[in-house]
Amino acid sequence: MRATMDLIANGRLADAGLVNICKAAGVSRGALYHHFVSIGEVVAEIHARAQDRVFELAERSFANAGADAPARFSVALGRALAEDRLVRAGLQLAADGTEAPPRLRDEILARVHDEVLAAARDRSDRRVLADLAVVVTAGLESLGYADTAWWNSQNAGRIWDMVLPLFTEAERTVAGRERDAAADLPR
């Protein structure tokens, strides 16, 4: 599994063929097939484990509501991509062990979109905020494959510092409406 993960994380799924995996792992084809029925099964297991890690990052980032939750997730994802080969490999994969949509990347970007939509429920421009969170997160993730500096917390934070005022204003607007509604209630 480690050899397959490294081949995908440092390249692409096509690099994780039988010969390359066996060579990188230092095992025979028979040894590989003793543990796994197919290469697809190995790759699907990598996806599943990466999904657990990335969804855990999302849970932690979005658990504490706040305008900066998408930024917290985006920065945490960048850190994981830079430091964790499993996450780097897994984002490229689908649950069936292929690169076909929906890949883990697609799943997590949909999650970011849904979380922002839910948090900005009373904003008329909530779809725009959700789209913006996806664009920033996807952009940082994609650019990092060519230059890992994009995954750096400081670089991602610098970009989010420019975007966060839009999310903060959305949160203030919702809080103000809730406060106004509570003030109108009879005592």
The mean pLDDT of 14-43, rounded to a whole number, is 89
Question: What are the pLDDT digits (tens) for 97-114?
Answer: 899 999 999 999 999 999
The mean pLDDT of 76-83, rounded to a whole number, is 97
pLDDT band at 167 (very low <50, low <70, confident <90, very high): confident
The mean pLDDT of 5-22, rounded to a whole number, is 90
What was the pLDDT predicted at 115? 94
pTM listed for this prediction:
0.85
Distance, CA of 80 to CA of 106 (rounded, Å): 17
Listed by start position, the domains of the chain span 47-183
What is the average pLDDT value for the chain, to the nearest integer?
89
